[in-house]
Amino acid sequence: MTHLHIADGVLPVPLWLAGLLLAGGIVALVSFRHRNDRADRLALLGALAAVMLAAMAVPLGPFGHLGFAPVVGILLGPGLGFVAALLVNAILALLGHGGITVVGLNACVLGAGTAIARPLYRAARARFAPGRSAAIGAVGSGLVSVLALWIVLTLAGLEPATLAAAEPGHEVHAAVTSTARFFALASPFWALGLAAEAVVSALAVGFVSRVRPELLP
Amino acid sequence: MNSDIALVDLWASSGRSPWHRASALAKMAFLAALLFAVITTREPVVLGVLLALVLACLATARVPLGAALLLGLYPVIFSSLFVLSRWDGTWQTPALLLGRSLAGSLGAVLLVATTPYPDLFAPIARVTPRLVGDGLFLTYRAFFGLLHRADRMWVALRLRGGLTGRGLPRDLRYAGEGLGQLVLHSFDRSQRLYAVMQIRGHSGRVCGCRHWADFSIADLLPLGLAVVVVAAAVLRGATR
């Protein structure tokens, strides 16, 4: 819910190329770190990325759906969680639900939230039960994704065509203003999404902790 | 969304059009050419021509146009918020941004609706790390294993009074616990899959290769169109 299905041709070329390079670099690092993993980690990655896809079938109003990224991040950890976000975005892009050229950027936005979920969950576990810790992780994860999206869209507003249209001396202000306008339009949907994601994450993780606690970090 | 993926998979595996006979590589080349043209054009009229071309391709591939358009419109709905925030008062800017979204996503739908997933992911697996290449294959495969279970679970929840749409807090409670069940099912399924991979002599790579590079006369259609689209985009850019 807190990520955006940015489509092809909407963002400037250098920006989505940078997104592809950044996502590729992160995946290369994660691949290197997990090079000696047993194949069951790969099977688990595929299975949980598939759960993320299935969870996205739960609609949250006209502009959103459940994401389930925080729970996947908690279960897989930051590195594999980021890869799961990339896989989901790649499959969604192939289905026309988002751009192919912006898979890297979409993955960075969703993956940033997925990657932060487990550290936040672990920190919260020192004081709270698994369900409440997962809710805290989900809210933090959503906010990190929104922050990543803010950065992407502000950088998009700094493209030459936009800057040329702005008054001299006010280019950066114009970029920030148009991004702020976007966030004002989208924030009600994000607030709803954050709350929904927190409740669902708390319940799903609470359920897992009651039935199979050994699966949680 | 779940039914979208199942529908696209059905189109890809049951179609018999020239697009279905063409190799995955040739269709990927056409999609790359289309995206190049979509991204570089700044004229709504040219985008209209590209959209008409993709729709004609979908029609010749015998993909149901209504369903394909619904799939393609999904990112347009999401992009509309972004377009609203960038609106400069002209009709050209929203037309350009929304047209690009629609043309790009319909091009992707054409590729997946005419290419079975092992052929689609095999060339990607050749150029990406194992986590991505094999991960795509396993995610798609696991998704279909999960699809029927998830659908049955949502139906059961509705029949028992959950997910009625009458109260969001209650619906979310049932959705959360239902998804928790799916997570556990996925864990068990991944362990079974791992056991099967070991029994079948898994050697570190899931091979999804079949006919992705089997070139035939049918490849002339996507490759020819790719050349025409790129040439037209370059010439149009040069004459402006």
CATH number, position A33: 1.10.1760.20
Q: Which residue from B13, B60, B6 is spatially nearest to B222, judged by alpha carbons?
A: B60
Would you state the pLDDT for residue A34?
87
Contact A111, A26 (CB under 8 A): yes
| B182 and B227 together in one domain | no
- Cα distances from A162 to residues A5, A154, A176, in angstroms, run 22, 11, 11
Would you state the pLDDT for residue A107?
92
- Cα distances from B115 to residues A89, A110, A130, in angstroms, run 19, 27, 43
Task: Give the list of residues 6+ apart from residue A105 with CB closer than 8 angstroms, or none.
Answer: A6, A11, A15, A16, A19, A20, A23, A152
| B165 and B224 together in one domain | no
Question: Distance between alpha carbon B203 and the CA centroid of its chain, in Å?
Answer: 29
| B10 and B101 together in one domain | yes
| B181 and B81 together in one domain | no
Interval B170-192 mean pLDDT: 83
Residue B10 covered by a domain: yes
| B112 and B127 together in one domain | no
Partners of A42 on chain B (C-beta within 8 Å) are 130-131, 134-135, 138, 206
The single-letter DSSP state of residue A96 is: T
Residue A205 covered by a domain: yes
Q: Virtual CA dihedral for B98, A99, A53, B26, nearest 10 degrees?
A: 120
| B9 and B83 together in one domain | yes
Tell me the residue range of the domain where A80 lies: 13-215
Residue B204 covered by a domain: no
Most confident of B46-50, B124-128, B130-134: B46-50
User: How do residues B21-66 score in pLDDT, each as one tens digit?
Assistant: 999 999 999 999 999 999 888 888 888 999 999 999 999 999 988 8
Q: Does B190 touch chain A (CB under 8 A)?
A: yes
CB atoms within 10 A of CB A97: 26
Partners of A134 on chain B (C-beta within 8 Å) are none
| pLDDT per residue as tens, chain A (217 positions) | 455 667 787 788 899 999 999 999 999 999 999 888 877 788 889 889 998 888 876 666 655 677 889 999 999 999 999 999 999 999 988 887 778 888 999 899 999 999 999 999 999 999 999 999 999 999 999 999 989 988 888 887 755 555 455 555 555 555 566 677 777 777 777 788 888 889 889 999 999 999 999 889 8
Would you state the pLDDT for residue B60?
94
Would you state the pLDDT for residue A63?
59
Total count of domains within chain B: 2
Residue A6 covered by a domain: no
| B106 and B129 together in one domain | no
Total count of domains within chain A: 1
Q: Does B147 touch chain A (CB under 8 A)?
A: yes
**Which of A51, A86, A162 is the closest to B186 by Cβ?**
A51
Q: How far apart are CA B171 and CA B169, in angstroms?
A: 6
| B111 and B218 together in one domain | yes
| B134 and B228 together in one domain | no
Residue A4 covered by a domain: no
Partners of A84 on chain B (C-beta within 8 Å) are 135
| B61 and B91 together in one domain | yes
- Cα distances from B138 to residues A42, B76, B113, B213, in angstroms, run 8, 29, 19, 21
Residue A115 covered by a domain: yes
| B164 and B64 together in one domain | no
Would you state the pLDDT for residue B147?
79
Tell me the residue range of the domain where B95 lies: 2-116+212-239
Q: pTM to 2 decimals?
A: 0.87
Q: How far is A85 from chain B (nearest CA, A)?
A: 11
The single-letter DSSP state of residue A167 is: P
Asked if residue B86 has pLDDT above 70, the reply is no
- Cβ–Cβ gap A207/B177 under 8 Å: yes
Partners of A37 on chain B (C-beta within 8 Å) are none
| B152 and B93 together in one domain | no
Residue B207 covered by a domain: no
If you count DSSP H runs as helices and E runs as strands, how many of each does chain B have, helices first?
A: 10, 0
Residue B186 covered by a domain: yes
Mean of the per-residue pLDDT values of chain B: 83
Tally of residues, chain B: 240
Asked if residue B176 has pLDDT above 90, the reply is no
Residue A113 covered by a domain: yes
Residue B9 covered by a domain: yes
Bridge partners of residue A65, in order along the sequence:
A59
Q: How far is B149 from chain A (nearest CA, A)?
A: 10
Query: Which residues 40-69 in chain B show a CB within 8 A of chain A?
Result: none
Residue in chain B closest to A182 (alpha carbons) equals: B85
Partners of B193 on chain A (C-beta within 8 Å) are 43, 46-47
Confidence of residue B206 (pLDDT cuts 50, 70, 90): low
- Cα distances from A110 to residues A14, A78, A195, in angstroms, run 20, 12, 17
